[in-house]
Amino acid sequence: MLTGCALPPFFPGAGALGVAFSPTLSTVLAGRLIFGLGIGFAMHAAPAYIAETSPPQVRGLFISLKECFIVGGILAGYLVSYLAVDVVGGWRWMYGSAAPMAIVLAVGMVRKFIAQLHQNINVLALCRCI
C-alpha cells in the first residue's frame, strides 16, 4: 500500500541542495525540477493524509493549518530572498535554505513509512497465526 512513498520525501532536499551547489545552468534546472516534483508530491498527498488520519471534529482546522504553514513558508522564502539579494551568489542561499526543512520532512515521512511497514508486518504475522 505504501509502495512509491520511499523516494518522494527526499526530492525537495535533493533538489534544494542540487540547486545550491550547482555549477551550471542545466544542473540548476534539473535541481529545480527535482525540487518541484518533491513539493508536488507533498502537496498532493498532504490533504488526503490529513483527511484520513485526523478526527472529524478538527479535520477542517488541520487542513486550514496546512495552508497557513504553506503561506508562512512562502513568507519565510521572501524574507530569505530579501536578505540574500545583495550578496554575491545569494541565490544559492535562497535555494539552499529550503534544505533543512526538507530534511525534517524526509525524516518525518520515513519514520511514518517505517512505522506503517512494521504495522503491516505485524498484521501479516497475525493473519498467518489465525
Residue-by-residue pLDDT tens, the chain, 130 positions: 444 555 667 788 888 888 888 889 999 999 989 988 888 887 887 888 888 888 989 998 998 998 898 889 889 888 878 887 888 877 787 778 778 888 887 788 788 778 878 777 777 766 776 6
Question: What is the C-alpha separation between 99 and 103, in angstroms, rounded?
Answer: 6
The H or E element that residue 16 is part of is helix 11-20
- pLDDT the model gives residue 122: 72
Question: How far is C-alpha 34 from the chain's CA centre?
Answer: 12
- pLDDT the model gives residue 61: 92
- pLDDT the model gives residue 1: 43
> b or e along 39-53 (b: 16 or more beta carbons within 10 Å of the residue's beta carbon)?
bebbeeebeeebeee
The fold of 8-129 is Growth Hormone; Chain: A; (1.20.1250)
pTM for this model (two decimals): 0.64
